[in-house]
Amino acid sequence: MSDATSFTPDYFINRELSQLEFDARVLEQAKDEAVPLLERLRFLCISSLVLDEFFEIRVAGLVQQQAFGSSQRGPDNLSPAEQLRAIGKRVQKLLKEQYRVLNKELIPRLDAQGIRFLRRSEWNNKQAKWMKDYFRRELAPIATPVGLDPAHPFPKILNKSLTFIVTLEGKDAFGRNSGKAVLQAPRALPRVIQLPQRISQSPHEFVFLSSIIHAHVGELFPGMTVTGCYQFRVTRNSDLFVDEEEVDDLLRALEGELPGRRYGDEVRLELADDCPNELEYFLTNQFGLTEDDVYRCNGPVNLMRLSAVPDLVDRPDLKYPGFTPGLPAELTSGATMFEVISKGDLLLHHPFESFAPVIDFLRQAANDPDVLSIRQTLYRTGSESAVVKALLNAAVNGKDVLVVIELRARFDEEANIELANTLQAAGAQVVYGVVGKKTHSKLSMVIRREGSDLRRYVHMSTGNYHARTARLYTDYGLFTANPEIADDVQQQFAQLTAMGRAGDLKHLLQSPFTLHDAMLSLIQAEADAARDGKPARVMAKMNSLIEPRVIAELYRASQAGVQIDLIIRGVCSVRPGIPGVSENIRVRSIIGRFLEHTRVFYFHNGGDPKVYLSSADWMGRNFFNRVETCFPLLDADIRDRVVEESFETYLSDNAQAWELQSDGSYSAPAVGSAARVSAQESLLAKLGEAL
């Protein structure tokens, strides 16, 4: 068993601080002049969204640990309190930069392109009249201000809702005046409103809902004088807690738990930067927070409000150029998916290649009279999913349809509950996986009668069965009719739906049973080869790498002389470049148009490389607390192609590749005098079809 304790905490980068460095890299895309302007705005919004989820889950977890007096420390040996202090300092700096980018870079450049965000001081008479009409027509009838007095205590504020603290003078009809009121902006209204062209002076003019509220909030308090109105937003713990050992019906338990997400414990208060200190003190007392939990905002308190703007503005010249995902030559002949797969394994590299063949695979199975059964795992699928429609059609057509749905896919729980009910109503058999282990495997199997035999066709993937994200995330999908692979997949479905011990799989590695030990053994084998003076190399591409025993084994392999290249999009606890420990390890992060999501593991293996694709990152949760699938590439041509597209292409990137330094920071891409090379752009040119 590999042991991480021989390496001191200085050798491990803190997980939470590494996550914030990822957010900083996303924000850098909003500053990159090479990125189209409206896409820069999207990246700013994404950086805000990433920060929101970080507080809702990661910071909330640390706050809970601290409240419970937990002494648990990670491999970096930082206590919850120490992590929270470090997070606060880093987030304040990050937040300041977000608003600087918005106010000093993006808004002036957007304004120059005729895309304007109007301040109240800029409204002309026609616009001011339109705003007043909008307020009275759309907002006033559904707004519910709450005056604060003994009969009206401070209301429960929804998670991340746009809210205002209002100060007042005078008395209402009942002679009351506490001096303060709270107004939650109606959730049904858009936070950014596009003005009609007839009153616009530029091609695209927008106004924030908050500006309209600020201008007319006095109408909600007749006979009183509004002396101040300030935006704020509270972020709450959004992690669901269900004691799975104590519930009989996981679906019902989650349905009962979901509404509580809106009112979890407070962990962050965002506040307009002009809000008086006495109101800050008042709000922090109401929420049980301290001044360390307050983040002042020089602009809208939720930058995600701006995320609708790129879709409202028809300016293709300010967005990424369109593209059509390519199709492998094997799929252009008119043959069915089953005819193609029966001739050999087929690889798809999304989004450069189309996700349509995956949908075709299921659609054809649903309508094929020779197909008897379809088995499918679903983690995230999206609304109006073509995959789900195919499964529903198959059930209606009398196929035996088994769907393993992970109800606890974070922030998709409600959609997955609805999906489960819909599939069951159509006659599909639905199960929810294994109690205590999230089912994260990406598997699909079709069983088809061919003559006197039953043949199984399998699709395995590194990503979800989600057609929209397949155009935004990089992922691999593999089709195969290999009987031994099919045996393994069938056994995995049996494990998920029935009781019994896990049998030995011929090719697939599986969490929580074999994947962790297999990865350790494969790394150790490369280290042994290097010690014997033989060629040795490890390359791995994934979203996150934090599992301490894997990291310790990578350090030992580096000490043995193994060259190790890691392409880690997000969180990485490896500290490269430490003399005598990790000088043979290089870590890079690719941030670009598409979200890097592939998980690929390469081991030199004495010149006969072993290459795996996986649903799992190298994280403790993936190794020990989830059901995951890691599958080898048995076809030599496909294996070589994946090595070229995942490693050779990405390791030559000098345009979007950030290099991790020993201190935990990342150095920016530097093209220098060399020709610019972008891995994503190269793959799009090679595999996709430009519009």
Distance (Å) of CA 402 to CA 83, 376, 629: 44, 6, 18
* Matching residue, tokens 């005729």: 114
* Nearest Cα to Cα of residue 415 among 376, 379, 468: 379
Distance (Å) of CA 352 to CA 561, 584, 593: 35, 32, 12
- Count the neighbouring beta carbons within 10 Å of the beta carbon of residue 146: 15
Burial group, residue 3, by CB count within 10 angstroms (0-12, 13-18, 19+): exposed
CB 164 within 8 A of CB 170: no
Say whether 440 is catalytic. yes
Give per-residue burial for 73-89: e unless 16+ CB within 10 Å, then b: ebbbebbbeebbeebbe
Whole-angstrom Cα distance, residue 591 to residue 589? 6
Give per-residue burial for 162-172: e unless 16+ CB within 10 Å, then b: bbbbbbbeeee
Whole-angstrom Cα distance, residue 290 to residue 284? 6
DSSP letter for 152, please. B
Q: What string of H, E and C letters represents the secondary structure of 323-388? A: EECECCHHHCCCCCHHHHHHHCCEEEEECCECCHHHHHHHHHHHHCCCEEEEEEEECCCCCCCHHH
CB 300 within 8 A of CB 164: no
Sign of CA dihedral 219, 223, 224, 226: positive
* Nearest Cα to Cα of residue 183 among 159, 155, 160: 155
Left if phi > 0, otherwise alpha if psi is -120 to 50, otherwise beta: which for 436?
Answer: left
Distance, CA of 499 to chain centre? 33
Bond into 512 cis (ω within 30): yes
Token pair in block for residue 392: 């529903």
β-strands 585-590, 563-568: how paired?
parallel
Q: How many helices (H) and strands (E) does the chain have?
A: 21, 29
Report the amino acid identity of residue 137: R
* Nearest Cα to Cα of residue 596 among 541, 642, 638, 648: 541
Of the candidates 349, 440, 466, 604, the residue annotated as catalytic is 440
CB within 8 A of 81, min separation 6: which ones? 66
Distance, CA of 125 to chain centre? 44
Degrees to nearest 5, angle at CA 358 with 357 and 364: 80
Token pair in block for residue 182: 């709270």
What DSSP assignment string belongs to 641-657?
HHHIIIIIHHHT--SSE
- Catalytically annotated residues: 440
